[in-house]
Structure formats: C-alpha cells, structure tokens
Structure 1
Amino acid sequence: MTELHRITVDSSQCGGRPCLRGMRIRVKDVLDLLAAGASREEILTDYPLLEEGDIVAALEFAARQSDHPILRVA
C-alpha cells in the first residue's frame, strides 16, 4: 500500500516544495536526516508530529522521483 497520500504540495508553503501532511516539514528534510544516518526512531523523537508512515512516504516519494527514463538523441 502506498503512503504517497501523505505528501502535500502547496505553493504558499515552503516555496511549493513537497511536505508531509500539510506541515512545514519538507520531504527533503526527512531524506537529509536519513542520509546523515539518523534512525527512524531518532527522527520521530525529534519531530513528534511525524508518524512512521510519513518517513515511508518520503522514501517512496524519493524512489519514484529517481525512476525516470533517460532519452538519448541519435
């Protein structure tokens, strides 16, 4: 089951960048924390409004964004 429904984009919030559930916590912020080695538990402790599904949504969003075809011009 997808968690992408947790990702929101609002042009008046965070410069239109993808956020989690309408909060001012950007998907990129969660991804940066994970990339820096923070555990899911640490992130949930530091951001008590986040839920486990939000972290899954951020990862799923990133995975889908990175899967695009590369077209080569002959």
Structure 2
Amino acid sequence: MDLHALITIDPEILGGQPVFAGTRVPIETLFDHLEAGVSLDEFLDDFPTVSKAQAIGLLETATKLLTSSNVAQLYAAAA
C-alpha cells in the first residue's frame, strides 16, 4: 500500500500530526493501543474511520522500516 494512501500530514488536521489518511486518527494512537495490549480488532472498533487495510498497511510499513539494514540507515541519518 502506498504511504500516501496510509498517512496524511496536513497542518490543518491536528496541527500536522500524522494521521490515518481520510481520518483525524493519529498514527501514534494505533501504536499506543497495541503497546497497552489492545487488540487490533478492538482498536478498529474504537476508531471505525480507520480501515483494517490501513492499520495492517501501517504495521507492515513500520516493519519494513525497522529491518536491520534500514535501522542502520536511520542511525546514520540521525547522527
């Protein structure tokens, strides 16, 4: 799934905080819920404007970004 189809960053929506495209639900909310032990299905019930495809697409994208070779590039970029 295209990243632009997953995430919107717009200064007019929650001050530019990254949100699920087409919603006002911050991306961070999914990770906060998962960290708290909330299931993906429960998150989707709590935020019905987020589709299951969007949530899974975001998690897949995060996984790809955090592979060993990409983490090394992130470390280099942050240095």
The TM-score, its normalising length taken from structure 2, stands at 0.69
* Equivalent residue, structure 2, for 1:35: 35
Q: Check if 1:24 corresponds to 2:17.
A: no
Shifted more, 26-35 versus 46-55: the winner is: 46-55
Moved segments of 4+, more than 4 Å: none
Q: Give deviations 1:31-72, integer Å, cap 9, x for gaps.
A: 11111111111111111222111212332443455544223x
Aligned CA RMSD, in angstroms, stands at: 2.0
On the 8 A contact 2:23/2:50 being kept in 1, the answer is no
State the alpha-carbon separation in 2 of the partners of residues 33 and 22 from structure 1.
20
Give the gaps of 5 or more residues in structure 1.
none
Q: Which amino acid aligns with 2:15?
A: G
Give the gaps of 5 or more residues in structure 2.
none
Q: Which amino acid aligns with 1:17?
A: Q
* Equivalent residue, structure 2, for 1:6: 6
* Equivalent residue, structure 1, for 2:45: 45
Higher helix share: 2
Which structure carries more relative contact order (alpha carbon 8 Å, separation 6+)? 1
